[in-house]
Every structure is written in structure tokens, then in C-alpha cells.
Amino acid sequence: MRWSLELVQALVVLVLWVCCGSGTGCPCSDRALCKPVTVEHEFEVFVFDVGGKDWKYYDWSKVTTIAAFGPYDPELLCYAHANQVRVVLRAGMLEGTIYAECHWVGEGQMNHLIIIWKPPTGSVTVQMATNWVTFNMPWSPDCIDGRCYDFLRIANSCDFLFVMSYDMQSQMWDNCFAKANAPYYQTLSGYSAYINLGIDSRKLVLGVPWYGYDYPCTQFFETGRCVLEKIPFRGAPCSNAAGRQVPYKEIGQHVHKSITGRYWDDEQKVPSYIYMVNNTFHEVWYDDPQSISIKSAIMKKLRLRGIGMWNGNMLNYSDDHFIVKQTEDMWNALCPL
């Protein structure tokens, strides 16, 4: 699909109206906070937020961009800009999703637009008359979940690419055992494959999960050998649809009460644990500060643009001393020394 300048201009007008309203003026008490964020960061830390007020407790010393999936919150905009952080708002339209960064100059005017568009199928040429264009990519360019796009052309049309290095078990081709959501070597291979296509590594942002999968076992032999119900997806006989997504804030509360406690898998370089309910074994695979740190080191190894996560709300921001430490460790893992 080729985007004409006329279509882009029409979408810009629609996004301005959907995201920010018309003529509403600057929502911040300090009008300077409605000006564009111009600070250049050494690397990107891209945070998806799904709503509520968790953002008040984010580590703002690290964040560079907030992609807000929840309702528009002017308080978030003002607070983020006070910390020199961009805010990106979502507006669903056509066959994809568009995100616009809102800041005001004069009465209700925006002068910066970010578009993250996920097309349904096929190759894409993206032509945009905007300041900043980016694109959500599957964890590998190898037709993951039927996403067989011309990734090099997309990369050449974008400022940077957010690579969703999670949900890697959406198609299980080898066996129906529970596995890690984002195994290290599989993660690394995805970025290497993109770079081998000719994509500049500085255009790639490493996406990591702040959630895991809880898999009920139809049979359980030992840790790492939890047999799953066969739920096919896009030709593969099994998939992660056999489990449910679990946020890290829930995992952090449960792992110490499990049968096994935290078990480290050195092959996939992620932890897991086993628990039982109603005579059924469950195996939970997840990421924690250790596994996130190992993956975030890929940034330096391959000279990537930065890192981000799905999503910032999946941590526990209570004031309990033990939980505070868990949460701090997850934020710190994004930025290896």
C-alpha cells in the first residue's frame, strides 16, 4: 500500500482532531510544557502505557517516549514534557493504528506527528510528510504470524523500528511443551536477521516483555517438560494460546509461593516456576531483571537504537519495601552498564 501525500495530510488532520481536540489550547499550567521535546537522548527507552496513573511512578530518569494506549491524560503530557519525555497518543483508523505526539503551539496546534502503523498483510511502502515515523516489527523478518513484509523498504521509510521481541511461541512447530516467551538466542537471531537484510542497527529498538505466560499442563514430567493442549495458529500445531499472559507484578507475588521457586533455564536464559491448582500442574515462563539485563546487553552488542517494553503498567508500584526493590530492578535492567 502506498501512502500519498494527500492521504497523509488527511490523516494528520483526523489524528489532530481525535487525539487532541480542536482549539482546546495548552492543557499545562506552564505553557512552555506544550512546546516540542527537542532533547536528544543517547538511546531510546520507549514505554507503552495502557492507562491509569502508574506513570507517576515510572523511572523518569530513563524514559524517553511514552506511547499512551489509555484515554488521553493531559496530566501525563505535562508531567512527561517537564521531564523532557515525548508522549505518543493512539488513534485507531483504517487498517492500522496511528499514534500522534501531542504538544501545542498557539491555540490547539501540533507541529510534530509520530505514526506507528501495522498493516494487515503484504509489502508496504510508507511515504510520510511528518517529523518522525516508526513501525512495529515482529521479532523476526521470517514471515512470523504471516507478516511477510518488505522490511528493508519499511526501514528505509522510517526513522526507527520497534521490534516486538516477545510472544515468540505464537507458532510452535517442534513440540507442544511450554517455553519461554522471549528466549535469549531467539531474540538475538531476530535482530541479526534484520541487520543481515541491510537494515541499519541504529534504527532498531529492542522490545522486551514485562509479562510471562502461565501454561496449564495436560501432562507434567519435570521442569521444562510441561505438555500443552494443542491449539494451532497459522499452520503451526501448537501456540502460546494454550496459556494466559501474566504481568510481572503478579509473578513477583507468586513465584516464592510456588512448588519449585524460581528456576533458571540456562539454555533459554529465562526463569520459570511450577505450581499446582485443582490437581493440575502449571508452568510459568517469564522475564525478570536477570533475563532482561541479558537481553538488553544486545543493544551494545549490535549497536541498537534503544529498548522498550510492553508495558509499563505490568509492574507493582506499591510502597512495600520488597516490591519496591523488584520494580527498581526491572527498570534498572533496561539500561546495562
pLDDT of amino acid 42: 80
Is residue 6 predicted with pLDDT exceeding 70?
no
State the CATH number of the domain containing residue 38: 3.20.20.80
Q: What is the DSSP string of 14-54?
A: HHIIIII-SS----SSSGGGGSPP-PPPSSEEEEEE-SSSG
Q: Report CA torsion sign: 141, 142, 147, 153.
A: positive
In tens, the pLDDT along 72-129 reads 788 998 999 999 998 877 654 444 444 444 443 333 333 334 444 444 444 333 333 3
Whether 122 maps to a domain, the answer reads yes
- Mean pLDDT for 10-27 is 48
Is residue 24 predicted with pLDDT exceeding 60?
no
pLDDT of amino acid 271: 98
Per the prediction, the chain carries an average pLDDT of 83
* Burial class of residue 122, CB neighbours in 10 A (0-12, 13-18, 19+): exposed
Whether 216 maps to a domain, the answer reads no
Whether 223 maps to a domain, the answer reads no
In tens, the pLDDT along 256-287 reads 999 999 999 999 999 999 999 999 999 999 99
Confidence grade of residue 3 (pLDDT, cut at 50, 70, 90): very low
pLDDT of amino acid 126: 36
Instruction: Compute the distance between CA of residue 89 and CA of residue 239 in angstroms, rounded to an integer.
Output: 31
pLDDT of amino acid 95: 45
Do residues 233 and 168 make contact, with C-beta atoms less than 8 angstroms apart? no
> Pick the residue with more confidence: 6 or 60?
60
Whether 235 maps to a domain, the answer reads no
Identify the active-site residue in 95, 107, 267, 328: 107
In tens, the pLDDT along 176-217 reads 999 999 999 999 999 999 999 999 999 999 999 999 999 999
Structural domains in the chain (count): 1
Buried b (16+ CB within 10 A) or exposed e, 31-46: eebbbebeeebebbbb
Give the distance, in angstroms, between the CA of residue 158 and the centroid of all CA atoms in the same chain: 18
pLDDT of amino acid 129: 34
In tens, the pLDDT along 141-181 reads 999 998 888 899 889 888 889 999 999 999 999 899 999 99
pLDDT of amino acid 112: 39
pLDDT of amino acid 69: 85
Is residue 8 predicted with pLDDT exceeding 60?
no
pLDDT of amino acid 263: 97
Whether 83 maps to a domain, the answer reads yes
Is residue 21 predicted with pLDDT exceeding 80?
no
Reply yes or no on whether 107 is catalytic: yes
Whether 262 maps to a domain, the answer reads no
Whether 267 maps to a domain, the answer reads no
Whether 111 maps to a domain, the answer reads yes
Domain of 32 in residue numbering reads as 5-211+287-332
> Pick the residue with more confidence: 158 or 227?
227
pLDDT of amino acid 287: 98
